[in-house]
Amino acid sequence: MVRALIFLLVYVAAGATLKSLWPTLTRGWRAWALAGGSVLALGLLLVPFVAHTVDVPLIARIFAVGWSISAIIVLLAGIPVLLLRRWVDGRSRKTPEAAPLLDVPPATASLTGVMSRRTLLTNAGRAVPMLAVGTSTAGLAGGSTGFKVKTVEVRLPGLPAAMDGFRIGQITDVHVGNFIDTQYLRDAVTAMNEAQVDLQVMTGDLIDDLEQLDGTMAALETCKAPHGMLAILGNHEHWRGLDEVVAAYEASRARGGPVRLLVDESHTLEHAGQRVRVVGVDYPISGRRGMRVKLERMLESAEKAFQGASPDEVLLCLTHHPDFFDLAAERGARLTLAGHTHGGQVAFFGLPVFWFVFQYMLGRYRRGDHQLYVSGGTGHWLPFRIGVAPEVTVLTLRAVEGSAARRS
């Protein structure tokens, strides 16, 4: 209900902003259309809280998200325009000290300049709703067109020859729930099967809707990789129902399924005679609904999960939060795979718009001979993406000589 109240305030504020930017847009039938759209979007957002058994159609859920995003963009883009216009109006009331043109009276020259700037800002204000609708539509389209298979070659100095060409398929942040169904997950696993990877991994945030848990596990069990699938927990498993999710993984394992959950522990496998240890760490969450990541929890996970590692093994690490990379590298992990960030979901020319939110946001990072890959996510809980497509990642390990370069 708190979320619904927040969106109500956003809709009201966006309506007031539009009225100031473009008064005629909020009159007559247009005003009724805007009010009706807001009421409908708000009602759709409230349905899961007041009528749990009602299944809202996907197109309706997408409409509610699109409307909400458009309202937020109106606020973010419209308020600065209004502030600039107020500043220009304030300057127009001041008497100029000198004329910018010799043949034009000072008052006339100043008024012309002010009117020109105000006209520009007025036109910019009228472009705001079109910008909001266009951006929202593009983002929803980008978030609803499905995943792509992304191939990444990871060159690791000193990698044993037996591991050259070893392939790992990664899915992460699937978020089976309102916008991602179990068939989508099944298709992602199929894509990894078709890529003939040696090992599949799922690096957290598998599910949001526990009613789809059985179908979710069934989709994971279609894994055909020779070394099966290793999974870890993300923050959403902690929020949505940790006990239920862990029990589902254990039941799948008891049935002889190919999926194994790692919680601050490791799993060893042998590939072409070479021992490989894959470490999987828990998400360092504070409390059931907490968001604050604690370094102490990460250190505890590192101490538990890396026990038993030996120098003759190739050490890999799975973590949901990419900040664990530093601890993994210190303990010898050659490659760390992470998710959590969704790549910010918005990027231009490959650069995430929200790059400042996480230390490691998207793609490859290096620390000496140790590497990190942060996936942009296979699914999402908000179907809005621009420049960061959902991905199923196929990573191929390659042996090289010498020291690793800086981040590529």
* pLDDT at res. 116: 75
- In angstroms, the Cα distances linking 373 to 136, 192, 264 are 29, 17, 20
What tokens were used for 133? 């609708």
* pLDDT at res. 190: 98
Q: How many CB atoms sit inside 10 A of residue 268's CB?
A: 12
What DSSP letter does each residue of 150-217 carry, written as one string? EEEEEEEET--GGGTT-EEEEE----BSSS--HHHHHHHHHHHHHTT-SEEEEES--BS-GGGHHHHH
Task: Please say whether the beta carbons of 203 and 324 come within 8 A.
Answer: no
Task: Please say whether the beta carbons of 251 and 221 come within 8 A.
Answer: no
- In angstroms, the Cα distances linking 294 to 25, 29, 282, 403 are 48, 52, 12, 32
- Distance, CA of 156 to chain centre: 27
Contacts of 219 (CB under 8 A, 6+ apart): 182, 183, 185, 186, 189
* pLDDT at res. 4: 73
* pLDDT at res. 291: 46
* pLDDT at res. 270: 96
- In angstroms, the Cα distances linking 45 to 178, 247, 334, 339, 381 are 11, 30, 44, 27, 14
Q: Tell me which residues of the chain have a pLDDT lower than 70.
A: 1, 49, 51-53, 92-115, 286-293, 402-408
Write the secondary structure of 9-53 as one string of H (helix), E (strand) and C (coil): HHHHHHHHHHHHHCHHHHCHHHHHHHHHHHHHHHHHHHHHHHCCC
Q: Give the pTM.
A: 0.85
* pLDDT at res. 56: 82
* pLDDT at res. 45: 82
| Amino acid at site 272 | A
Task: Please say whether the dihedral angle defined by the alpha carbons of residues 272, 274, 275 and 277, taken in this order, is positive or negative.
Answer: negative
What tokens were used for 187? 């298709």
Q: How far apart are CA 259 and CA 249, in angstroms?
A: 7
Nearest to 391 by CA among 218, 230, 152, 135: 152
Kindly tell me the burial class for residue 38, based on how many C-beta atoms sit within 10 Å of its own C-beta (0-12, 13-18, 19 or more).
buried
376-396 residues labelled b (16+ CB within 10 A) or e (exposed): bbbbbbbbbbbbbbbbbbbbb
* pLDDT at res. 119: 80
- In angstroms, the Cα distances linking 8 to 5, 46, 178 are 5, 11, 21
- Judged by phi (left if over 0) then psi (alpha if -120 to 50, else beta), residue 82 lies in alpha
* pLDDT at res. 404: 41
pLDDT digits (tens, 9 = 90+) for 148-183: 999 999 999 999 999 999 999 999 999 999 899 999
* pLDDT at res. 218: 97
* pLDDT at res. 294: 76
Q: How far apart are CA 27 and CA 23, in angstroms?
A: 7
Number of H helices, E strands in the chain: 9, 14
* pLDDT at res. 293: 56
DSSP 322: G
What DSSP letter does each residue of 246-264 carry, written as one string? HHHHHHHHHTT-SEEE-SS
First to last CA, the chain: 44
